[in-house]
């Protein structure tokens, strides 16, 4: 299967296209006074950190995808659960596709979001077409694909999001739903996607890698340290991405905290640049 230059209807991933359109459309309700409250904004910010920071950046990416450190299994499952609340698809698919991205970064169609196909493609366009990389996910996820907890999270992430929405509605009504679910999802989505797009286009390169990865400070701010992407591609198994003293990496600080508490072990590092 190859990516069509002029895709037909059968090439389009309608489920992704429709669901993302609905989430973005409902998020716009947050602009209306009836669905706005400062408490709801606070809930969205808190959940952005829990789902995007602890979940995607710390859990799905640095812990599970790259195994840059180890935690007790209960903590691993908790961090993965936080990532499930980001609604970025099944965790097994996410991990497998990201591992393929590193193996084929900016080289061919087995990099799902090859940035050399353009900013729009790497940011979100790749999700709207069926990918030839998708059937290969089991090959790259042998460490998690048979774990029943991961299988549950893979198949039930939408139901878990609905349960979160019901809890937020009981606590704060519709403003909590609109901001705590839909606005927050849109923000987490695009922050994550900027790592695929902006950090392969904007910023500086400290290391000569075979891809187009860059270090982009503003992406690092909104993704808790993921914006130091050139560093990451040069040393993909390092738990620390911000290698210069000014490269703020909040996720690395969290890992250091876990390490101090005895909850993070076998932390992989590379020597920081001068």
**pLDDT band for position 7 (cuts 50, 70, 90):** low
pLDDT band for position 109 (50/70/90)? Answer: confident
Nearest Cα neighbor of 148 from 80, 86, 213 is: 80
Q: What is the pTM of this model?
A: 0.93
> Which residues does 179 contact at the CB level (< 8 Å), separation at least 6?
30, 35, 36, 37, 40, 41, 43, 44
What is the mean pLDDT of the segment spanning 245-264? 97
> Among 160, 173, 166, which Cα is nearest to 29's?
173
Share of the chain above pLDDT 90, in %: 90
What gap in Å lies between CA 199 and CA 191, rounded to an integer?
11
Query: What's the pLDDT score for residue 2?
Result: 44
Question: Residue 157's pLDDT is what?
Answer: 95
pLDDT digits (tens, 9 = 90+) for 25-81: 999 999 999 999 999 999 999 999 999 999 999 999 999 999 999 999 999 999 999
- For position 11, what pLDDT does the model report? 84
273 falls in which pLDDT band (50, 70, 90)?
very low
- Provide the pLDDT for residue 1: 40
How much is the mean pLDDT over the chain?
Answer: 94
| More confident site: 62 or 273 | 62
Cα–Cα distance, 3 to 146 (Å, whole number): 29
């Amino acid at each position: 299967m190859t990516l069509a230059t002029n895709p037909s209807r059968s090439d389009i991933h309608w489920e992704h296209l429709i669901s993302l359109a609905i989430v973005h459309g409902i998020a716009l309700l947050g602009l209306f006074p009836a669905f706005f409250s400062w408490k709801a904004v606070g809930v969205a910010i808190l959940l952005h950190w829990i789902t995007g920071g602890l979940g995607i950046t710390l859990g799905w990416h640095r812990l599970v995808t790259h195994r840059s450190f180890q935690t007790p299994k209960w903590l691993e499952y908790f961090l993965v659960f936080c990532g499930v609340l980001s609604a970025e698809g099944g965790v097994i698919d996410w991990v497998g596709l990201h591992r393929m991205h590193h193996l084929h970064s900016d080289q061919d169609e087995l990099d799902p979001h090859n940035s050399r196909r353009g900013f729009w493609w790497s940011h979100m366009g790749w999700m709207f077409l069926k990918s030839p990389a998708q059937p290969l996910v089991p090959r790259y996820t042998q460490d998690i694909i048979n774990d029943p907890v991961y299988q549950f999270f893979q198949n039930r992430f939408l139901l878990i999001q609905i349960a979160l929405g019901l809890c937020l509605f009981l606590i704060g009504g519709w403003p909590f739903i609109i901001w705590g679910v839909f606005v927050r999802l849109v923000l987490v989505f695009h922050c994550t996607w900027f790592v695929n797009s902006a950090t392969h286009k904007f910023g500086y390169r400290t290391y000569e890698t075979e891809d187009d990865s860059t270090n982009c400070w503003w992406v690092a701010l909104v993704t808790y340290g993921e914006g130091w992407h050139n560093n990451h591609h040069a040393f993909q198994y390092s738990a620390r991405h911000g290698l210069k003293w000014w490269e703020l990496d909040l996720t690395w600080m969290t890992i250091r905290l876990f390490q101090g508490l005895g909850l993070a072990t076998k932390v992989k590092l590379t020597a920081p640049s001068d």
